[in-house]
Chains A and B, each alone.
Chain A
Amino acid sequence: MTAFLQSTFNGLVSGAFYALLALGLAVIFGMLRVVNFAHGAFYMLGAFGAYVLLAEAGVPFWLALVVVPLALALLGMALERAFIHRLTRLDPLYNFLLTFGLTLILQDLVKLRYGVQSSPYEAPAGLRGSVDLGLFDFPTYRVFILGFAVAVCVGVWWALARTRVGMVARAATERPELTRALGINVGRWITPVFGFGTALAGLAGVLAAPMRAVNPLMGADLIIVVFAVVVIGGLGSIFGSVAAGFGIGMAQAWAEAYLSAFPIVAQTIVFIVMAAVLFWRPAGLFGRAEAPA
């Protein structure tokens, strides 16, 4: 029982990263109809931002947790204005391709400067060691990540459901023409929403820095898993994306714990689940069906 809870907890922690990344992807997709391939690169930049700030300027983790997402929001908004904006009238595939090109560029820029080896980053003093959760001890930093990620997801949900900005965003997502006809300037919100999405990716990156190896390729492999996660949850559904993120994290952890003889299962379970979802519910668990094609 203790072992089960422990692996469930580990799964929730890695699921928190999937959920944060899937949330950013879903928010951007909802407003812009763009699938941002560079999302993984922004996550990587977030982790590198935290590392560089600490190593070269002595900026502590807590400050980085605020500064880095803000900086990435600005970078995201700049890229949206400079590139993505120009392609929004075309097929969404073009922006997928564009952000893929941006991923290669961002990755190689970091690689040129810092090489491919992993850089160490220590958790802040207050979050080292472990806490007693009753049945077992658990690393403090992981507990923090889980709580923080859940708070962010709930906060975003609250903002979308209860605030005026959120209502505009949801309306613009579902009926852009009608929203415009009601006198709401939809275009004004596109760039900030994109920046918000990249900030979420950067936030996930900062959170990952003390836990995962910080290297230029850390985002690329992760983003493919997150793509599978959003296909499972249904990209149009913010709740679905987050739920699928946590769910896949747990499924991976259980596979690691109970099928340790077959490590391949834990690595590929997300893709197997995706295949099953495509078979039985092609629109995703929480998604709406597309127009028949």
Chain B
Amino acid sequence: MTSTVESRSEPAGRGTPSGLAAAARAPGWARYALLVTGLAVALWLPNGLYPAVAVDILCWALFAVAVDLLLGFTGLLSFGHAAFWGVSAYATGLVAIHLGLPFPAAVLAGAFAAAVLAVPIGYLAVRRTGIYFAMVTLAFAQLVYHVANEWRSVTQGENGLQGVPRELFGLDLTDDYYFYYAILPIVLLGLAGAWRIVHSPFGRVLVGIRDNPARARALGYPVHRYKLTVFVLSGFLAGLGGGLFAVSHRFVSLEVLHWTTSGKAVIVVVLGGIGTLWGGVLGAGILVRLEDWLSFSGFEAIGLVTGGIFVAVVLLFRRGIWGTASALARRRWGRRD
């Protein structure tokens, strides 16, 4: 039983190993237009949205891209990525509170902590594939949750870590508007890193493993080691997002490690489009904005809406928003190979 989400969801012979590969074959001007539009939206975002929401979108975008790196490009559904997001949030908070480092250094430390945690979890989890991989990662994340809940001297238990500073060489970043622009370069670096991974020879091997693990092994690629490496990289990226999330909220609660957080990350990816990378960014924007609007209007059953979106996307358009849009665009303008 192999876990090739993408390849089996698409009719055989369509020959799109990934949405991104297809985008890479799109006309050059379209790629640059998309890139410029994306950057323009990123620069404009806190002017059009409540800045705190814009900051959340950036954090969740990193998280979603981390999950998509595994799900879309390696065929591994991690349902326990809250472990990395959350551990980094705690590590970042502790470093920022106790060492008083500038927040980018604290976030980096948090992301490294997440990557270190990803080594043993990934080592054990890549021994299973498909649905088992999802269950195993979910279980390990729950283990981390229980440990954080019990280890009160460090995590403050249910009170959470309070007063995480937004220190950056004495700059005043209390206003979310300015904080957004302070973290934007870090987020863009993370996204560019993910893009680089996917388009490297390493990334092509990952797609090969996703589509045909037996063949990849026969060609001499150490499949487990490739999976473990991308798992750790993904944990690092998720940790980058989680650390920024901790600094932006100035508070870390156990919720960052809860399984609903893992599930939300997967929803964001599926909504945006599995295997599209940028779809996750789009999905993060939509879901975070929607949840903010729902809680602002006093609607309490957010799970009803997110669950409903999930069911609808899985049933009706499995390619997600980005995947559907790029398929439409390709049909409209054709490919120029």
**Interface residues, chain A, CB within 8 Å of chain B?**
35, 83, 86-87, 90-94, 96-98, 100-105, 107-109, 111-112, 220-221, 224-225, 227-228, 230-231, 235, 263-264, 267-268, 270-272, 274-275, 278-279, 282, 290-293
On chain A, the residues within 8 Å of B318 by CB distance are 90, 94
Secondary structure class of chain B's binding surface, majority of residues = helix
Residue of A91, A104, A228, A293 with most partner-chain B CB within 10 A: A293
**Known pairs A93-B77, A231-B136; A107 contacts B150 (CB<8 A):** no
- Asked if B213 is an interface residue, CB under 8 A from chain A, the answer is yes
Q: Which residues of B contact A268 (CB under 8 A)?
A: 143, 146-147
A98 engages B314 (CB within 8 Å): yes
Q: Is the CB of B132 within 8 A of A293?
A: no
Check if B311 sits within 8 Å of A105, measured CB to CB: yes
B314 near A101 with CB under 8 A, answer: yes
B140, A97: Cβ atoms closer than 8 Å: no
A93 touches which one: B5, B150, B304, B309 (CB < 8 A)?
A: B5
List residues of chain A with CB within 8 A of the CB of B130: 91-93, 290
User: Which positions 278-296 of chain B face chain A at CB distance < 8 Å?
Assistant: none
Interface-central residue, B134, B147, B223, B300, by most chain A CB under 10 Å: B134
A87 touches B213 (CB 8 A): no
The reply to whether B304 and A101 form a contact with Cβ atoms under 8 Å apart is no
Interface window among B57-65, B109-117, B121-129, B184-192: B121-129
Q: Would you call A274 and B134 a contact (CB within 8 A)?
A: no
Q: Check A275–B9 contact: CB distance below 8 A.
A: no
Across the two chains, which residue of chain A brings its CB closest to B120?
Answer: A275
Which of A97, A108, A224, A267 is within 8 Å of B270, CB to CB?
A97
CB pair B315 A98 closer than 8 Å: yes
* CB proximity of B325 to chain A, nearest CB, Å: 20
B310 interfacial by beta-carbon distance below 8 Å: yes
Residues of B close to A107: CB separation below 8 A: 303
B window 190-225: CB within 8 A of A: 213-214, 217, 223
| Complex Cα spacing A105 to B3, Å | 26
Whether the pair B304, A83 counts as a contact (CB closer than 8 A) is no
Which of A35, A94, A109, A275 is within 8 Å of B135, CB to CB? A35
With A224-B142, A271-B143 given, can you name 14 additional A-B contacts, CB distance below 8 Å?
A: A90-B9, A93-B131, A97-B77, A104-B303, A108-B301, A108-B303, A224-B138, A225-B142, A227-B135, A235-B132, A268-B147, A290-B1, A291-B1, A293-B129
**Which residue of B125, B139, B308 contacts A224 across the interface (Cβ within 8 Å)?**
B139
| B131:A92 contact, CB within 8 angstroms | yes
Contact of A231 among B2, B132, B217 (CB under 8 A): B132
Let me know if B314 and A87 touch, CB within 8 A. yes
Nearest CB of chain B from residue A92's CB, rounded to whole Å: 5
- The answer for the CA separation of A227 and B140 in the assembled complex, in Å, is 11
* Complex: A228 Cα to B128 Cα, angstroms: 13
Which one of A93, A104, A225, A291 contacts B307 once the chains associate, using CB atoms below 8 Å?
A104
Residues of B contacting A224 in the complex (Cβ-Cβ under 8 angstroms): 138-139, 142, 259
Chain B residues, Cβ within 8 Å of A293: 2, 129, 213-214, 223
B8 close to chain A: CB less than 8 A: yes
Inter-chain CA distance A102–B303, complex, in Å, is 10
What is the CA–CA distance of A36 and B178 in the complex, to the nearest angstrom? 45
Name the residue on A nearest B150 (C-beta).
A264
**B266 on interface, CB distance cutoff 8 Å:** yes
Cα distance, A61 to B239, chains bound together (Å): 48
**Chain A residue with the shortest CB-CB distance to B301:** A108
Q: Which residues of A contact B142 (CB under 8 A)?
A: 221, 224-225, 228, 271
Query: A93–B134 contact, CB under 8 A?
Result: yes
Structural contact, A101 and B77, CB atoms closer than 8 A: no
Given contacts A91-B3, A220-B259, whether A97 and B314 have CB atoms under 8 Å apart is yes
Specify which chain B residues have a CB less than 8 angstroms from the CB of A267 in the assembled complex. Answer: 146, 150
Cα A194 to Cα B77 in complex, Å, equals 24
Per the bound structure, the CA–CA distance linking A182 and B54 in Å amounts to 60
